Structure 1
Amino acid sequence: MATTVELNSEALNNLCQRYHEQNSQFTQSRSLDVLSYEHSANTDTVTGFFGRHQILTLKVRRTDADGREHFEEIRFFTKSPPLEMASRMEYIEEFGLFKKEVRIFREVLPEFQKIFPNVAPKCYFADERLLIFEHLADQEFRMAAGRDGLLDYKHLQCALKSLAALHASSIVYEARCGRKLNELHPEAVVEIAYPLDIPQHHVRKQNFNNANRVFLELIKLLPKYQQNREYILREFPKRMAAIFELIQTSKKYLNVLCHGDLWANNMMFQYGKCGESSPLQSRLLDFQLSRYAPPMVDLMTALTIPTSSSFRREHLSELLCDYYRFMTEFLKQNQLNIDDFLTREEFYETAEKFRIVGLIESLLFSHLTDLPPESTESLTSSADGFSDFFDAKRVEICSEAFRSDDIYRVRLTDMLEDFIDNFVLNIKI
């Protein structure tokens, strides 16, 4: 299917020019001409819940400084709103997803990438209808999680290095500008996922309430909690609602640009020789939920959504140390001392305070992202499927998956038990 976003010859030539300017392997060119282009779905792409993903392929004639002609094919990854699906577009418009991501890639990340260039994919074009990125798959980047959405220690450590670079960039940028990020780019970091003081009919409030209805039904299926069931069912939504206050810009702690959407499919990894399983580097994708908040909000989310409770008991402390070490090194490279921004005492104080955020986000993300493939395909392939999940049939869809799919049941049970045991029955808020 062809895209509804048309690119004229001037836009394509400008895109090609920017691509060659930002890639050091190309020598100076005398001229660049786009001979043809194709913009369509491809087997490399993944259908997104809130965006349409495609491949843009340019066939280019480049004349170098010596007058020699080179014929090249360049591929880009593109993201656009699902304009053909009215119900999904209405949700995205009210949510403000695509506009936020455009602002992040147009205003904020270009400044950050001058400090640390390898955190997110290069973006060559950003407007209200279309984002055009380098195609990471052509550089041997790929996603690492299986159907269960879990990552191992090496992949998490690699992702945390990118996350620390993102957060360090935020600190360095503010230090250079002498102003806070939410003063420099207020609309890019406004909170859209959990805004305060929103009416019950707001799309985010409805989504949160519908998710809680799912969790209450799943709790009823857990034998472990039959004795305390009524208390848990009453208190569970109250504990979940803590996220609305916790993820706001802090008046007490350091704030940085937070990614806000750190599940496994928003991380891509590059490897060394064929067959190597340890990643060399990673990139963070999809900045549509970015916010200005304490770095631990991101860090606890990244260490909870793609992990099990048993993994966290064994490795959480070590991974927190890894992140703090990375942050220390990145700030030192820019002649900054981490103790002037995030002392070790504050770091571990926020780890305790924001651990609940990781679990809440894990539940809110994973009851959707861990659904079996047949359910996910029906959600993303039609307007009716999307509406069914985000409104009428969410409880039915998730309850059926919980009963019939082992992976979904194990993952959701693990998250629910960790949350209930630590923040409902033994309250630590």
Structure 2
Amino acid sequence: MNSLAEGDCLKALRRALEREDFQLEKFRTESLSDSPIGYMGRHLSLIATVRIGEARRDVRFFVKTPPASGSHLMYLDEMQHFQKELDVYETLVPIMTASLPKGYQLPVPRCFLVKGSSKAGNGEYRRITTEDLLILEDLKEKGYRMYDNMVPFDLEHCGSLMKSVALLHAPSILLQKTAMDRGKGDNFNYIDGTFRLARDTLLTNTGGKMQRLGVKSSVETMTAAVAGLWPDRFGSLNKKKELKERLWKAWEELSELSKPSRTYTNVLCHGDLWANNIMFKYDDEETSTPASVVLIDLQLARFAPAMTDLLIFFHMSTTRSFREEHMKNLAVTYHNHLREIVGKDLLDQLMPLTSFLDSMEEYGLFGKLVATDWLSFSLNSEDVAPMMEEGGSDGEPPDFVEKVLKDRGEEVLLNAAANEVYKTRIMESYRECLEHLNLWK
């Protein structure tokens, strides 16, 4: 288990306080909640007591460390999620921040310490160790909070989010221009390699054991759950066989969609944009309009068309009727915010509105299929039993390999029977995907 050293705490404090004239009296870590709140690592609170002159105060940080489970670490070694987040904060966030025009700020938590080099000497990711960690600002301490993931997003929160997503994507557009001005700018090749370490390993078929196991789990879970939810339509052996075969093909199609595009401009995408990875701050607790939006958990960042981020969010965090009424207009809102940041001429050159909206249709499968899998184990309420309930009380997450990478069809059906909201959300997601695949007949 990770042991945070005094030196780590001092480095984080110097960067957070932006001064040296303080004395660290003591520090401790504690779990953020009675149950785990993340899938890919331990999430802890670091409380440091410092004295500056005669004043004494506590400074709080948010700490992420790898899980302790052997099989979970093996999963992360192949999928590279934790290492990728280290690299995003250590290398890409400074580059992206520097590219933004004056007055704009990247909508991610401030990072005060990256411990453990994210890359091996040959430029590839090295093996993860339990001594690696990230120390970030404590957003909750600053008044940020999550949106209830069981409640679909409303129009106001979606509109506020579009600005932050545009801010995240804008540096890629600006860096693309800088590269083009130098006579380079190979966007398909991660802007001449700048974003190469943000290549996707989760949805793209890498040939790895864990990636393939994830697809197998997704296919078997949806097949079993769909057969149980609509036995008259999909309960027969022939129907289940047909469904399973089409889902395997769909995930192969998704693998191609997850790669950088040669048709649409690629940007550094968040990759996991849904309720639990978005934090809102409100100027007035009585108002429902967010004043600020920050995007957290960058472990699934990928270099791909911008629309993939929006589609994951909409299909994970809104209802189908909402999408039919508002999704296109919100995509235009996002595009307008992006234009304000990078300029009309550059955006018209690299991501014209017509092309951007065309990608919504071409990547339609992306959000629909991802949501069928991720929603099944992400939605959480008192009467829904997600695999997160089975982690340790010290913030240790449940073993992802044991709890998620398996046929979870029966668990989906039990949760659907226990909670009407879960049932409505998962059935809506399944049906929309089935219709897209021409399986709803």
TM-score of the two chains, using structure 1 as the length reference: 0.87
Decide whether the 8 Å contact of 2:112 with 2:136 is kept in 1. yes
1:182-193 paired onto structure 2 within 5 Å: 182-193=191-202
1:34 to 9, 12, 24: 24
Counterparts in 2 of 1:282 and 1:175: CA distance versus 1, 3 Å = same
Aligned match of 1:357: 366
Counterparts in 2 of 1:269 and 1:45: CA distance versus 1, 3 Å = farther
The C-alpha deviation readout for 1:71-101, integer Å capped at 9, x for no partner, is: 2211001111012x22222222221111011
How many angstroms apart in 2 are the aligned matches of 1:185 and 1:314? 37
Decide whether the 8 Å contact of 1:380 with 1:386 is kept in 2. no
Counterparts in 2 of 1:392 and 1:329: CA distance versus 1, 3 Å = closer
1:369 lines up with 2:401 in the alignment: no
Identity %: 24
How many angstroms apart in 1 are the aligned matches of 2:31 and 2:326? 39
1:93 to 56, 60, 77: 77
1:338 lines up with 2:355 in the alignment: no
The C-alpha deviation readout for 1:132-174, integer Å capped at 9, x for no partner, is: 111101111000124x252111111111111111111211133
How many angstroms apart in 1 are the aligned matches of 2:200 and 2:431? 29
1:48 lines up with 2:38 in the alignment: yes
Counterparts in 2 of 1:186 and 1:281: CA distance versus 1, 3 Å = closer
Decide whether the 8 Å contact of 1:213 with 1:395 is kept in 2. yes
CA deviation after TM superposition for structure 1 residue 186, in Å = 4.7
Aligned match of 2:159: 157
How many angstroms apart in 2 are the aligned matches of 1:175 and 1:336? 11
Amino acid at match of 1:410: T
1:213 to 217, 220, 223: 220
Aligned match of 2:124: none
How many angstroms apart in 1 are the aligned matches of 2:398 and 2:4? 27
1:306 lines up with 2:314 in the alignment: no
Q: Which moved more, 1:273-282 or 1:253-262?
A: 273-282
CA deviation after TM superposition for structure 1 residue 196, in Å = 3.1
SS, match of residue 279 in structure 1: coil
Aligned match of 2:172: 170
1:54-133 paired onto structure 2 within 5 Å: 54-63=44-53, 69-83=54-68, 85-114=69-98, 115=100, 116-128=104-116, 129-133=132-136
2:146 to 130, 143, 147: 143
Amino acid at match of 1:359: K
1:134 lines up with 2:137 in the alignment: yes
1:153-302 paired onto structure 2 within 5 Å: 153-177=155-179, 178=182, 179=185, 181-198=190-207, 202-223=209-230, 225-226=233-234, 229=239, 231-302=242-313
Decide whether the 8 Å contact of 2:225 with 2:410 is kept in 1. no
SS, match of residue 92 in structure 1: helix
SS, match of residue 38 in structure 1: strand
1:327 lines up with 2:341 in the alignment: no
CA deviation after TM superposition for structure 1 residue 325, in Å = 0.8
How many angstroms apart in 1 are the aligned matches of 2:202 and 2:159? 26
Decide whether the 8 Å contact of 1:42 with 1:54 is kept in 2. yes
Q: CA RMSD in A?
A: 2.6
Aligned match of 1:6: 4
Decide whether the 8 Å contact of 1:5 with 1:130 is kept in 2. no
CA deviation after TM superposition for structure 1 residue 363, in Å = 1.2
Counterparts in 2 of 1:131 and 1:244: CA distance versus 1, 3 Å = same
1:421 lines up with 2:435 in the alignment: yes
How many angstroms apart in 2 are the aligned matches of 1:193 and 1:43? 28
Q: Which moved more, 1:395-404 or 1:219-228?
A: 219-228
Structure 1 gaps, min length 5: 22-28, 64-68
CA deviation after TM superposition for structure 1 residue 53, in Å = 0.4
The C-alpha deviation readout for 1:383-414, integer Å capped at 9, x for no partner, is: 87644423456233223223333222211110
How many angstroms apart in 2 are the aligned matches of 1:7 and 1:295? 39
Amino acid at match of 2:109: P
How many angstroms apart in 2 are the aligned matches of 1:239 and 1:251? 20
Decide whether the 8 Å contact of 2:112 with 2:135 is kept in 1. yes
How many angstroms apart in 2 are the aligned matches of 1:81 and 1:260? 19
CA deviation after TM superposition for structure 1 residue 321, in Å = 1.4
CA deviation after TM superposition for structure 1 residue 245, in Å = 0.3
How many angstroms apart in 2 are the aligned matches of 1:172 and 1:49? 33
SS, match of residue 100 in structure 1: helix
Counterparts in 2 of 1:86 and 1:172: CA distance versus 1, 3 Å = same
SS, match of residue 265 in structure 2: coil
CA deviation after TM superposition for structure 1 residue 233, in Å = 4.6
SS, match of residue 276 in structure 1: coil
Decide whether the 8 Å contact of 1:149 with 1:264 is kept in 2. no
CA deviation after TM superposition for structure 1 residue 187, in Å = 4.7
Counterparts in 2 of 1:387 and 1:290: CA distance versus 1, 3 Å = closer
1:387-406 paired onto structure 2 within 5 Å: 387-392=401-406, 394-406=408-420
1:409 lines up with 2:411 in the alignment: no
Counterparts in 2 of 1:362 and 1:299: CA distance versus 1, 3 Å = same
Aligned match of 1:15: 12
Amino acid at match of 1:139: K
How many angstroms apart in 2 are the aligned matches of 1:76 and 1:390? 29
Counterparts in 2 of 1:44 and 1:374: CA distance versus 1, 3 Å = closer
Equivalences, count: 406
